[in-house]
Amino acid sequence: MTAVLAGRLPGAVVGSVNLGPVDDGTNARARVHLTYRQGHGPPSVFVKRSGRLVPRLALAALGALGTEAMLAACGVVLPLEHPRPFAGGLAPGRLGTVVVMDDIVVLGGAAHDAVSPLAVDAVASGLEGLARLHARFPAEAIPPALGFLRPWRLGRGWAAVSVASLGRGVRRMADLGAPAWLPQGVDARALGSQFAGSARLAATGPQVMLHGDPHPGNTYAAGVRTGFLDWQLARIGHWSHDVGYFLAGSLAVEDRRAHERELLAGYLDALGRHGGAPPPWSEAWDRYRATPAFGLATWLHTLSFGRLQPQAACVATIGRFSAAYADLGTGAARSG
């Protein structure tokens, strides 16, 4: 830990290290408490390492296993609220990763969960942050230190696995007593096709650096600002992937219906203010309408795989994306 902290806290010498409870989901995460023999440093840091074998294999298949560790190690400063890393490392032969970062609780932050929707103001703040990220790092100006970021792609072998997994997710929703939640006319095969189409759509048009997975469980409150955790799915793609996934997946259904247009307009305004190139409204709205298919399928996959996220978080998030899919006519929207 002394070596890990040295880059940001030269002269700090750690005297003791005490591991807190480990939360083992997609990754293993824990707060680590520290004391110091010399110098000063935070009373705790947050450590995240690769989890069980199945999540590691899934992340490896998506080309995302080492992304967060490489981002932590590359030294690039991101222009939005997020936990600053101390260090990141890889053990590729064992599909192993580790990241040591700020403990947001020590800094006064409070993590959100994926069950509870965010307030409209919190989503507006998050969209402002995403606009800064997207404007700062268009694909044509990605610095060499971020050269490890991959474009949004799904491999050819994903289709068959996806349909089977989505079917299992649909059955689990029914087993949980939610048989009528799926939008009319949509089944696992149709949604699997739209899921793949969403990835293709994210690869068209202007490309930027994406957070990649901005659901509410990957966000936190830092005063009035919304921050973003969990950068392992950071990659290159169209801005609408982040915006649609965050907006439709984070708001209560009635709040989304009442505020989604003004929030999207606010994002586009922020994108322009920070140096990006916002598209015309009609194009932006069409892109946004297409995004709930990805969110709906992603959380059905998550439910299908089991222990990646709490069951209550899966059901709540699937409900929000399902309502957005129906409200926005996603099945008829352009999908690549």
Q: Give me the residue spans of the domains in the chain.
A: 2-102, 110-332
**pLDDT tens digits along 222-272:** 999 999 999 999 999 999 999 999 999 999 999 999 999 999 999 999 999
DSSP annotation of 138 reads B
CATH number of the structural domain 110-332: 3.90.1200
101, 86 contact by CB (below 8 A)? yes
State residue 65's pLDDT score.
72
Q: What is the DSSP code string of 99-123? A: EEEE-TTTTT-EE--SSSPBPHHHH
- Residue 335 pLDDT: 45
Most trustworthy range by pLDDT among 22-36, 142-156, 250-264, 292-306: 250-264
97: three-class secondary structure by DSSP: strand
Listed residue (140, 149, 129) closest to 66, CA to CA: 149
Position 332 scores a pLDDT of: 84
Query: Most confidently modeled of 47-51, 56-60, 111-115?
Result: 111-115
165-221 pLDDT per residue, tens: 899 999 999 888 775 677 877 888 889 889 888 888 999 999 999 999 999 999 999
Digit-coded pLDDT (tens) for 12-41: 999 999 999 998 777 789 999 999 999 999
What pLDDT does 336 receive?
A: 42
pLDDT for the residue 152:
83
CATH topology (fold) of 2-102: Phosphorylase Kinase; domain 1 (3.30.200)
Pair 236, 209: CB distance under 8 Å: yes
Report whether pLDDT(164) > 50. Answer: yes
Predicted local confidence at residue 306, as pLDDT:
75
**Residue 207 · residue 135 · CB < 8 Å:** no
pLDDT at 180: 60
Q: What is the pLDDT of residue 153?
A: 78
pLDDT tens string 107-139: 999 999 999 999 999 999 999 999 999 999 999
Residues 6 or more apart whose CB falls under 8 angstroms from that of 291 comprise: 198, 240, 241, 243, 244, 245, 248, 330
- What SS3 state is found at 23? strand
Distances 252 to 215, 243, 248 between C-alpha atoms, Å: 13, 16, 8
Q: What percent of the chain has pLDDT over 70?
A: 90
Which pLDDT belongs to residue 309? 82
Q: Are 231 and 68 in contact (CB under 8 A)?
A: yes
Instruction: Tell me the mean pLDDT in the region 98-114.
Output: 95
Mean pLDDT on 279-285? 97
Q: Report d(CA 240, CA 22) in Å as an integer.
A: 34
Average pLDDT over residues 53-81: 82
What would the two tokens of residue 74 be? Answer: 């590359």
| Dihedral in degrees, nearest 10, Cα atoms 157, 158, 162, 165 | 80
